[in-house]
Amino acid sequence: MIDEQQQYPAEQTDHPHRLSIVIPMYNEEDNVRPMATAVNEALSQYRNPWELIIVDDGSVDKSIPIMREIATQYGAHVRIVPLQRNFGQTAAMQAGIDAARGDVIATLDGDLQNDPRDIPRMVKRLLEEDLDLVAGRRKDRQDNLLRKIPSFFANRLIVKVTGVALHDYGCTLKIFRTSILRQIRLYGEMHRFIPAWIAAATTPARIKEEVVNHHARQFGSSKYGLSRIYRVLLDLLSVYFFMRFRSRPSHFFGRIGLILGFIGSSCLLYLGGVKLFLHENIGGRPLLLLAILLIVIAVQFLTTGVLSEMVSHTYYEASNQRPYMIREPERLQIDDDQGWKKPA
């Protein structure tokens, strides 16, 4: 279980590092300039090099021209990553992570609801407590009930399935150790499950959460509604499978097959006893058809498990991947020394 949060002082850490801030944005023309201003003001006295990466997720409004003006205004430490079309928040976040050069990565929403002033405090906790992830917790969330209630139940369900006990999976403001974040890839709409993916690469004891500020949206409208609920459920099933059965898929499918096979075989034994000892006709009983169907499905699950195991072995061998990960020392020296906001 993740411990309850403590309030940490806002001063910066003395640990040398380079910080990359990743902000995916889609049709946020009214928020681009205020967000960039807020980040630069919050980190104006930051004692370590940092960069701001704004990913445009195929916006069709005036976001791109405004982003380019901002990059010219603030300098080379503000970088724009324009995507060809709208790929979704997860893909946009992965694009920003791929472009990041720091050994610490911060992610936050582009709608001004996250507060960039929380970043130094969270980075300090990550480095000084030797953590891999510090996730924001919006304790005083400024959203309506239509967003709060589904999020409440979704968070409880995700904790139950993944075993990573965070209070607020939906908060985009998170601080990552880059060496760990590089070991996972985000697909589909997996951005809300990043802590669970991180837990697959490290121990949950190195994942903490920090209470952060949260503001009501000032401009534009939310891009997410109740329609995301079914996507969360489907993605959660994928997370559960990959976290626990990625290297042994036969255990997942085999367990289901054995359960169904046991039920089907028990039904057949019962019907056999009725036929032999009670001399009753069982040919027209629905239970007979159900038992046969369960056994057929059980065989299919068992063979699927064997085939999945073969595919898993082929994947690890062909991609040179291993079913384990080794922690490597952090590399604080980065070859490319250009485009950083240097401390004053």
Buried b (16+ CB within 10 A) or exposed e, 84-95: eebbbbbbbbbb
> How far is residue 172's CA from residue 191's CA, in Å, rounded to a whole number?
8
**Whole-model pTM?**
0.72
> How far is residue 42's CA from residue 22's CA, in Å, rounded to a whole number?
15
CA angle 244, 250, 256 (to 5 degrees): 85
Segment 96-118 shows an average pLDDT of 91
Segment 9-23 shows an average pLDDT of 85
pLDDT of residue 329: 46
Lowest mean pLDDT segment, chosen from 112-116, 207-211, 328-332 = 328-332
Segment 131-158 shows an average pLDDT of 76
Would you state the structure tokens that stand for residue 116, as one six-digit string?
Answer: 């960039």
pLDDT of residue 316: 62
Residue 6 pLDDT greater than 60, yes or no: no
> How far is residue 215's CA from residue 115's CA, in Å, rounded to a whole number?
8
What tens digit of pLDDT does each residue of 214-242 get? 777 666 555 555 556 666 677 777 777 77
Dihedral, 154, 214, 116, 179 alpha carbons, nearest 10: -20
CA 128 to chain centre: 24
Calculate the alpha carbon distances from 124 to 54, 133, 169 in Å: 23, 12, 21
Nearest CA-CA partner of 340 in 13, 124, 23, 19? 19
Instruction: For residue 147, name the pLDDT band (cuts at 50, 70, 90).
Output: low
Nearest CA-CA partner of 77 in 120, 130, 19? 19
Strand extents, DSSP E, 173-280:
174-177, 207-211
Average pLDDT over the chain, rounded to an integer: 82
> How far is residue 47's CA from residue 43's CA, in Å, rounded to a whole number?
9
Instruction: For residue 310, name the pLDDT band (cuts at 50, 70, 90).
Output: confident
Instruction: For residue 162, name the pLDDT band (cuts at 50, 70, 90).
Output: confident
Any bridge partners for residue 20, and if so which? 51, 105
Which residue has 């991609």 as its token pair?
A: 319
138: Cβ–Cβ under 8 A, 6 or more apart, which residues? 168, 170, 171, 212, 214
CATH number for the region 19-245 comes to 3.90.550.10
